[in-house]
Amino acid sequence: MPIKTGDIKLVAQTEDVLGEVPLWHPERKVLTWIDVLKPAFHAYDPATGTTESWTPPEKLGSYAITDSQEVLISGRNGMALWSPTDGALHRLSHPESDRPDNILNDGRTDPRGRFLVASMDKMLSGAKGRLWQVSGAKGTQLVQDKDIFLPNSICWSPDGATFYLGDSHTNLIFAHDYDVDTGAISNRRLFADTKGLPGDVDGSSVDAEGYLWNARYDGGCLIRFTPDGKVDQTLELGVTKPTHVTFGGPDLKTMYVTTARFRLPAEKLASEPFSGGLLAMDSDVAGLPEALYS
């Protein structure tokens, strides 16, 4: 049965060049996200309708929320803990230091508080990316070192036993077995071949029913996939470049979508006033609570 969603609203127009990684903070009740290229770090409070923005110390590919004022940032100079409010910065690791042409891209925290982040060659010259796991207990460890071109779509099934990783260059989304106790990843397999669908694979989130929602960059829509990788529903958004989707609000039934203005001509921007902003809509299916990095 198709999931019902309400009217799409523009809740913050931050004119992001490349808005990304919307995360709902379960304790602070705010929605945070980044502009990868400006760069910027934003926080939207739906209770007041206000948005605050800060400038991070470098361009970020992704980040993780924590139970403190700090965020774990995945940037051009590696992993660090950063406080937006006072600018304090504590460097942790630089996993791609041996590959100067690589940058860290999509990342997310697993149900046990480990952060998984994948890298890519910034010139897109080949599948030179790697997948890393970052934890307070074990530091930064290599998980996968091949077959990653332009990583996106990192998320988990409701029980944490399936890990998803997509590739925007090949338009494939892969599933893996995931051991939530140890963080071990195995049994990589194709989840969905999306080459015949609108746009390209970008950020994803899984809802409480185990269906994966994928933002289709340059495709203007979200696509909901069944747990076995079939297209269940397509939701048109009215913007060309949606980049990521997540669930928030007190009942996790508000869908938030980040968008981009990157390389959109002036006439397209004039006809798409929501581009570069944060979108929100009500949903009759809930999402999963966002894990905090520990």
Name the residue with tokens 């929602």: 213
- 235-263 in b/e form (b: 16+ CB < 10 A) is bebbbbbbbbbbbbbeebbbbbbbbbbbe
Kindly state the tokens that stand for 106: 């999509």
| 193: number of Cβ within 10 Å | 12
In single-letter form, the type of residue at position 204 comes to S
Rounded to whole angstroms, the Cα distance separating 293 from 115 reads 7
Q: Are strands 115-121 and 131-135 parallel, antiparallel or unpaired?
A: antiparallel
Q: Give the separation between CA 46 and CA 292, rounded to whole angstroms.
A: 20
* CA-closest candidate to residue 54, choices 89, 84, 18: 84
* Nearest-angstrom CA–CA distance, 227 and 191: 9
Active-site positions? Answer: 202
- State which amino acid sits at residue 282: D
Q: How many CA atoms lie less than 13 Å away from 170 in the CB half-sphere? A: 19
Q: Judge whether 206 and 157 are in contact, CB under 8 Å.
A: yes
Reading the block at residue 58, the tokens are 């470098």
